[in-house]
Amino acid sequence: MKTFILVIALLLGSNLNGQTVFRLDSLHQYSYMPDETLNNRELYTYDIGGHKETNLLKLSFFVATWDSINQFNKNYNSNNDITQSISQAWDPVMGWLDTGRDTYTYTASNNVDVHSNSIYADPDWLLFSENHFDYDGLGNEIENIFKQLDFMTMMLENSTRYTYGYTVMLRDYWISQFWQAGMWENDEKTDYTYNTNGDVILQEDRTWQTVDWSDPFKQLISTYDTNDQLEEILEQLGSPGNWVNSFLSLFTFTSGNLTEILSQEWNSGTPGWDNLGRILFTYDVDNNATEQIFQSWEPIGMVWENFLRIVNFWFPEDTLSVTFLSEDITTHMYPNPTSDYINIDFKNETSTGFRAMLYDINGKQINQMHLAKGIRTFKMPLHNTNSGMYFLHLNNGAIKQVYKIIKE
């Protein structure tokens, strides 16, 4: 199943964005107990002009309110590469408390040189682990040494090393080693075979046997369709000449987008494949992945049962180009997400009239209201709009504010 999950991550990473640059605004996670319940949210914040989130806030629904759980504050260099990420946990009394910090340095070729992880030990940071990377002349990663804090010596000690071999840009193998008695000991090795398109068609896993590598104990066989899209990954256990089916992952694409991953487990008693789980994907018109539904197979009723749904809300990059000409002019905007309406409370009575304009993510105006001078609050109805993301613009000619609204 590890391979199945990894492939999901790789395929999603290559299919999330359409031709227009979109950024993830928020993520909603629903579970089934047994009914669908929205219980987790992730909110993403970007600096004006930034291409990656500078804050990731995670919230959980408890009783009748959304409670902050943790957040990640991130910094980037001029190449838009992350340099620091500080994780914080929310304490209702103390507020945000530092818990961890990841820092990154880069080589002259803009590859990660050192990734350091620290934990917060009041009143300072304690370096807990580091990854040191090395590359060949083509920029391929050839070594990753992981060091971890020894609480006896309070120094970083070697723990694990990964080495990689290549033919030009294609990885031939990777080897994992562990540190023991002052030297590196071989542990496992994975070999790769490719087709003429550069796609992996065979992955073989081996273990170290004192003086040499064993025959493969596991193999993954991948096949592709005529469009070079992944069709299936077959996992087999055993040894050459005696392979036994284990897991099968089947992939379905529609118009180039991954729309289903079906996982099955081999039943030697039947013999045949039994359904195990599947993930269904939907996309918007810009090919952004908007929903993933995770299901498990219920063999008695012979039906698929939902256990998790993730909904992604995207917004186009150019919506971040708004110039704010004053400090925030409101105190509160609620509820958000909403199902029927959004309330806007001003800090003070407005000294001028305002226009409130509601747009969808494609820039189409959905609604417009004229706000009189001297008001403190107003309500914008959304009950006639579809579910999705909208942008509320407040403008009096001198002051312009834009707010993102999620309609459930």
Claim to verify: residue 307 and residue 375 sit in the same structural domain:
no
Claim to verify: residue 6 and residue 133 sit in the same structural domain:
yes
Residue whose structure tokens are 């269904």: 280
Q: What is the pTM of this model?
A: 0.76
Claim to verify: residue 271 and residue 366 sit in the same structural domain:
no
Of 317, 340, 360, which residue sits at a domain end? Answer: 317
How many residues in total does the chain contain?
408
Claim to verify: residue 14 and residue 125 sit in the same structural domain:
yes
Claim to verify: residue 361 and residue 240 sit in the same structural domain:
no
Claim to verify: residue 77 and residue 151 sit in the same structural domain:
yes
Claim to verify: residue 58 and residue 101 sit in the same structural domain:
yes
Residues of the domain holding 375: 324-407
Confirm if 359 and 322 have CB atoms less than 8 A apart: no
Claim to verify: residue 150 and residue 286 sit in the same structural domain:
yes
Claim to verify: residue 199 and residue 308 sit in the same structural domain:
yes
Of 268, 291, 317, which residue sits at a domain end? Answer: 317
Claim to verify: residue 185 and residue 332 sit in the same structural domain:
no
Confirm if 258 and 281 have CB atoms less than 8 A apart: yes
Confirm if 189 and 174 have CB atoms less than 8 A apart: yes
CATH number for the domain spanning 235: value is: 2.40.160
Which residues fall within 8 angstroms of residue 241, CB to CB, at 6 or more apart? none
Q: Which of helix, strand or coil describes residue 7?
A: helix
Claim to verify: residue 298 and residue 333 sit in the same structural domain:
no
Claim to verify: residue 28 and residue 148 sit in the same structural domain:
yes
Q: Per-residue confidence of the chain (408 residues) as pLDDT tens digits?
A: 444 444 444 444 434 433 467 888 889 999 997 788 889 999 888 875 567 888 999 999 887 788 899 999 999 988 889 999 999 999 989 999 999 999 999 999 999 999 999 999 999 999 999 999 999 999 999 999 999 999 999 999 999 999 999 998 899 999 999 999 999 999 999 999 999 999 999 999 999 999 999 999 999 999 999 989 999 999 999 999 999 999 999 999 999 999 999 999 999 999 999 999 999 999 988 889 999 999 999 999 999 999 999 999 887 765 444 333 343 455 577 787 888 888 888 777 777 777 788 877 666 777 878 777 778 888 888 877 877 778 887 776 555 677 778 887
Q: How many structural domains compose the chain?
A: 2
CATH number for the domain spanning 362: value is: 2.60.40.3080
Q: Which of helix, strand or coil describes residue 54?
A: coil
Q: Which two tokens stand for residue 67?
A: 């409670």
Of 298, 317, 336, which residue sits at a domain end? Answer: 317
